[in-house]
């Protein structure tokens, strides 16, 4: 068997042009070099991410979401550079390629403007780090926790343990309330109404004592009890205290309401409910009284 001739034919085939891209001939060797460079880019990205994670773990000990966003941004940056190097390796001039495909790129841009918009929004979010994995945010009226941020979409979880895949443009084009942007401290409040004949000083003392006794409140900030409104059927009081976990605000609000309920029951304070008093004019009252006597 002529191995020399076989390898000669194989070498000749590997460098034989298969097709052209932007006037550049692409061979089997070129394709191999292209994918090899891409694989090397993934390897370099992985090494960089592990190194950064080890070196920055202490600095971002309490900000794992920020560290995850930085690592993701590094990953995409290395891949973009690696893709450009891969194209240059096989002999494709990027400027020539961009010039040749300018019209096609414009057409694709119009057809995929939402995808491009989400892609750019993802890069902005990863760069600015105003929203990070682990953050508790309110977007479009829904409170969610950020699970994972991608270059095009972000995965969030609702209180019902539902995972939502949201396009990144939603976060860049609408108002987002971030409960954990600077810290996890969050001010929680509930309202309760009592009857107008209640002892208001006693009501305020019971509310303040109840708020102080809940075990999960932030101890460094005293709770506040405010008279918020004179309603149609009740005097409305608001109870406000600080917590360290905004994600549990629904559970904490429920616990606080239950504590207030049992405290009021113990102190014989009546929680008001909607009611209506009907008063009759004297002629109507006299007519009703006459009918009762006649009956």
* Domain boundaries, given as residue ranges, for the chain: 3-100, 130-178, 186-266
Q: How far apart are CA 198 and CA 247, in angstroms?
A: 35
Look at residues 192, 270, 193 and name the one whose alpha carbon lies nearest to residue 235.
193
Q: What is the pLDDT of residue 110?
A: 55
CA distances from 217 to 3, 176, 258 (A): 80, 25, 15
Residue 226 pairs in a beta bridge with 238
Q: How far apart are CA 244 and CA 186, in angstroms?
A: 6
| DSSP E strand boundaries for the chain | 19-21, 24-26, 136-139, 142-149, 153-157, 163-167, 176-178, 186-194, 224-230, 235-243
Task: State how far Cα 274 lies from the chain centre.
Answer: 38
What three-state secondary structure class fits 197? Answer: coil
Yes or no: say if 207 and 239 are a contact pair by the CB < 8 Å rule.
yes
Q: What is the pLDDT of residue 8?
A: 58
**63 confidence band (pLDDT: 50, 70, 90):** low
CA distances from 188 to 91, 114, 131, 237 (A): 61, 37, 22, 14
Residue 163 pairs in a beta bridge with 157
Report pTM: 0.58
Q: What is the pLDDT of residue 55?
A: 76
CA distances from 120 to 70, 135, 139, 162, 172 (A): 16, 21, 19, 26, 10
Tell me which residue has tokens 């606080």.
Answer: 256
pLDDT at 292 over 80: no
Q: What is the pLDDT of residue 5?
A: 53
Q: What is the pLDDT of residue 143?
A: 92
Query: Does CATH number 2.30.30.60 belong to domain 130-178?
Result: yes
pLDDT tens by residue, 121-179:
877 787 777 888 889 999 988 899 999 888 788 999 999 889 999 998 888 888 899 99
Third-level CATH fold of 186-266: Alpha-Beta Plaits (3.30.70)
**11 confidence band (pLDDT: 50, 70, 90):** low
Query: What's the average model confidence in pLDDT over 256-279?
Result: 86
Q: Which of 46-50, 198-202, 207-211, 290-294 is predicted with the least confidence, judged by mean pLDDT?
A: 290-294
More confident position, 272 or 193: 193
């Amino acid at each position: 068997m002529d191995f020399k001739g076989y390898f000669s034919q194989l070498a000749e085939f590997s460098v034989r042009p298969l097709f052209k891209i932007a006037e550049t001939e692409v061979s089997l060797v070129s394709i191999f070099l292209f994918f090899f460079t891409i694989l090397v880019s993934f390897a370099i990205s992985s090494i960089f991410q592990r190194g950064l994670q080890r070196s920055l773990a202490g600095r971002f000990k309490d900000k794992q979401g920020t560290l995850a966003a930085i690592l993701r941004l590094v990953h995409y940056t290395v891949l973009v550079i690696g893709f450009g190097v891969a194209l240059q390796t096989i002999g494709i001039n990027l400027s020539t390629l961009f010039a040749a495909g300018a019209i096609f790129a414009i057409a694709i841009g119009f057809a995929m403007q939402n995808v491009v918009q989400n892609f750019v929004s993802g890069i902005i979010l990863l760069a600015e780090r105003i929203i990070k994995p682990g953050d508790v945010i309110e977007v479009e009226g829904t409170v969610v926790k950020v699970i994972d941020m991608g270059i095009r979409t972000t995965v969030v979880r609702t209180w019902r343990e539902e995972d939502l895949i949201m396009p990144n443009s939603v976060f860049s084009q609408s108002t987002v309330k971030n409960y954990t942007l600077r810290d996890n401290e969050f001010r929680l409040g509930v309202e309760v109404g009592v009857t107008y004949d209640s002892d208001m000083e006693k009501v305020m003392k019971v509310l303040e004592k109840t708020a102080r006794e809940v075990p999960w409140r932030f101890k460094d900030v005293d709770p506040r009890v405010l008279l918020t409104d004179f309603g149609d059927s009740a005097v409305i009081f608001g109870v406000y205290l600080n917590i360290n976990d905004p994600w549990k605000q629904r559970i904490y609000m429920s616990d606080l309401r239950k504590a207030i309920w049992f405290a009021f029951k113990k102190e014989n304070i009546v929680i008001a409910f909607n009611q209506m008093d009907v008063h009759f004019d004297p002629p109507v009252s006299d007519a009703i009284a006459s009918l009762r006597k006649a009956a």
